[in-house]
C-alpha cells in the first residue's frame, strides 16, 4: 500500500518524524512485565517528558498519508533509527525532517547515489545554515506531521493490552494501517455502482 501511495504522490515531497508509544506509565516501570531494560527509556522532546516503550519513525506524503514506518526502542535517537531505515523513495524526492535527523554524511550519500534530497531543519550553529526562505519552507512542510501523530494516537485505546513485545508491536502497526486506510478513503473517491 505504501508503494502505491508513493506512486500517487505527484509532489515527491515526504516528511519524516517520530512519536513515542508508551507501554506503561512511568510510575509502573519497575513492575512492567512486557519490557525490561534501559533501552526502552526515552524522552519526548515535544512534550518534555520521559516515557517507557517504543518510538515509531513515520514517513508521510505531503498530503499526510503514511507510506513507511520503523519501530525502535524508546532510547534510540532519531538519526540512529534513520540510518537503520531503508528509504525506498522515487528519484528526485525531497524528505523533510527536524533537526534530530541531522547527519551530513548520510545527507550527501542520499543526494549523490539516490537523488533523494534530505531537507533537515537546521539549528543556528549548523555547519550548513539555511537561508530564510529555506527555513520557512521546511517549517511549512514539516509541521502538519504532528497532526498525523495526534490522529493516530487518538485511535489508541487507553491501554494496549499485550503479554509480549511481539504481541504489542503488531497492534501498533494495525493502528497505523487503520489510519492509512482511513485517509486513503477520504482522498480517493469511492464510486458507487447502482444495483
- pLDDT tens for residues 51-91? 999 999 999 988 888 888 999 999 999 989 988 888 888 88
Contact 122, 99 (CB under 8 A): yes
C-alpha cell at 187: 482522498
Mean predicted confidence (pLDDT) in 115-119: 89
pLDDT at position 53 is 92
171 within some domain: yes
Q: State yes or no: pLDDT of 7 exceeds 80.
A: no
Helix (H) or strand (E) holding 170, with range, is helix 165-187
Q: State yes or no: pLDDT of 186 exceeds 80.
A: no
State the total domains in the chain.
Answer: 1
pLDDT at position 187 is 56
50 within some domain: yes
The overall average pLDDT reported for the chain is 85
47 within some domain: yes
Tell me the H-state helices in the chain: 2-8, 78-84, 104-109, 132-142, 145-155, 165-187
Q: State yes or no: pLDDT of 20 exceeds 90.
A: yes
130 within some domain: yes
Pairing of strands 94-97, 49-61: unpaired
Q: State yes or no: pLDDT of 134 exceeds 70.
A: yes
Mean predicted confidence (pLDDT) in 151-173: 89
194 within some domain: no
Under the banding of pLDDT at 50, 70 and 90, the label for residue 175 is very high
- Cα diameter, the chain: 64
Q: State yes or no: pLDDT of 164 exceeds 70.
A: yes
Percent of the chain with pLDDT over 90: 22
**Choice between 68 and 124, residue whose per-residue pLDDT is larger:** 68
Mean predicted confidence (pLDDT) in 172-186: 85
193 within some domain: no
195 within some domain: no
Mean predicted confidence (pLDDT) in 146-159: 89
Name every residue whose Cβ is closer than 8 Å to that of residue 126 and which is 6 or more positions away in sequence: 102
For 24, the domain range is 2-187
Among candidates 70, 89, 69, 66, which has minimal Cα distance to 182?
66
Contact 71, 56 (CB under 8 A): yes
pLDDT at position 173 is 92
140 within some domain: yes
Q: State yes or no: pLDDT of 188 exceeds 60.
A: no
Mean predicted confidence (pLDDT) in 132-136: 86
Amino acid at each position: 500500500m505504501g508503494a502505491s501511495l508513493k506512486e500517487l504522490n505527484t509532489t515527491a515531497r515526504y516528511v519524516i518524524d517520530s512519536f513515542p508509544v508508551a507501554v506503561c506509565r512511568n510510575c509502573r516501570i519497575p513492575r512492567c512485565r512486557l519490557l525490561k531494560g534501559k533501552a526502552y527509556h526515552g524522552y519526548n522532546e515535544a512534550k518534555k517528558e520521559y516515557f517507557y516503550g517504543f518510538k515509531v519513525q513515520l514517513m508521510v506524503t505531503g498530503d499526510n498519508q503514511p507510506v513507511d514506518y520503523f519501530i525502535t526502542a524508546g532510547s534510540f535517537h532519531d538519526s540512529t533509527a534513520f540510518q537503520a531505515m531503508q528509504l525506498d523513495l522515487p528519484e528526485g524526492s525531497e524528505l523533510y525532517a527536524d533537526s534530530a535527523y541531522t547527519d551530513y554524511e548520510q545527507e550527501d550519500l542520499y543526494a549523490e547515489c539516490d537523488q533523494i534530497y534530505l531537507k533537515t531543519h537546521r539549528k543556528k550553529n549548523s555547519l550548513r545554515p539555511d537561508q530564510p526562505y529555506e527555513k520557512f519552507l521546511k517549517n511549512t512542510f514539516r509541521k502538519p506531521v504532528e497532526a498525523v501523530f495526534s490522529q493516530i494516537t487518538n485511535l489508541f485505546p487507553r491501554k494496549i493490552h499485550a503479554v509480549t513485545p511481539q504481541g504489542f508491536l503488531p497492534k501498533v502497526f494495525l493502528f497505523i494501517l487503520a489510519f492509512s486506510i482511513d485517509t486513503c478513503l477520504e482522498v480517493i473517491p469511492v464510486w458507487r455502482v447502482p444495483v
